[in-house]
Structure 1
């Protein structure tokens, strides 16, 4: 079977955007980062939307965007870390394409993100961030494929995804 799209999910700092861009280039597909698309549509940064209108407004815009992606084909879609957490979003994502979860432990994530203050849900406290990651992990684990990005390069993650896609299209186990 043909894979229509690839949806990357996972916690912030796991490499969704970097891997997504490289994967899209390899496949000669389009790339979309849902957070960037929401910023372009709203004319505000994600932190601004959270500050001025709250998380509810952001999640509403996020849902509207992913609903529009159902009809698309040939896209690698990097979602925000919270996108798959809502059941209605999860249902939409499963209709869009193959869902791949990227994983890294909290210390790796915090090292990658550094002192970034552009992530509205990132907490100052390491343990609080770890609790947030652990609370989300059961949803991320429902993905069609899970890749630990801790000790492999972006290219190695892309290669693993391409290998798995090829395997699925041979077996007929894709969407």
Structure 2
């Protein structure tokens, strides 16, 4: 099995789905944000505050490349795909799955206090700005290998759909391995 990379906007369920999927597959889960925090010895929030988003994106790109290449589930940050080289790398090394979630559902999830406090972008941007960011990133997310709509599904149901779609997945001929 190649590595499975989960992508999608913040709040789409990458962490909960990734942890459940890794259990079902019997492979380790890896969280890119946690890897960045370990690499830097700071929280994501501290990195954003002290060094800015661009520095964080550099660390994120490095962390993606340092994670295992086979037999793992990798949960990326919501903005990992904004750098084309990250998306190309992930597609060349595994299967990239977009956890598609509508903005109203995401916003409802993100407005929970515990979510707002751990997501730097929610502390500095208004709803309209987050919506614009969501709309902008959607173009990159849609370039992924597999798409699963999570709006009305439980974590278990999302995992089941992913497993079903992986079975029939055929890589495009323009991939490099």
Q: Indicate whether the TM-score tops 0.5.
A: yes
Which residue is equivalent to 2:72?
75
Which residue is equivalent to 2:31?
33
Q: Name structure 2 gaps, 5 residues minimum.
A: none
1:110 CA displacement:
1.8
| CA RMSD in angstroms, aligned pairs only | 1.5
Counting only pairs closer than 5 Å after superposition, residues 69-108 of structure 1 correspond to structure 2 as: 69=67, 72-108=69-105
Q: C-alpha distance in 2, partners of 1:22/1:67?
A: 23
Bigger RCO of structures 1 and 2 (CA < 8 A, at least 6 apart): 1
Instruction: Number of aligned residue pairs: give it.
Output: 168
Which residue is equivalent to 1:147?
148
- Larger displacement relative to structure 2 (60-69 or 117-126): 117-126
1:119 CA displacement:
1.0
Which residue is equivalent to 1:52?
50
Q: TM-score, normalised by structure 2?
A: 0.89
Which residue is equivalent to 2:107?
110
1:124 CA displacement:
4.7
- DSSP 3-state at the match of 1:121: helix
1:67 CA displacement:
1.5
1:100 CA displacement:
0.3
Structure 1 segments, 4+ long, off by >6 Å, are none
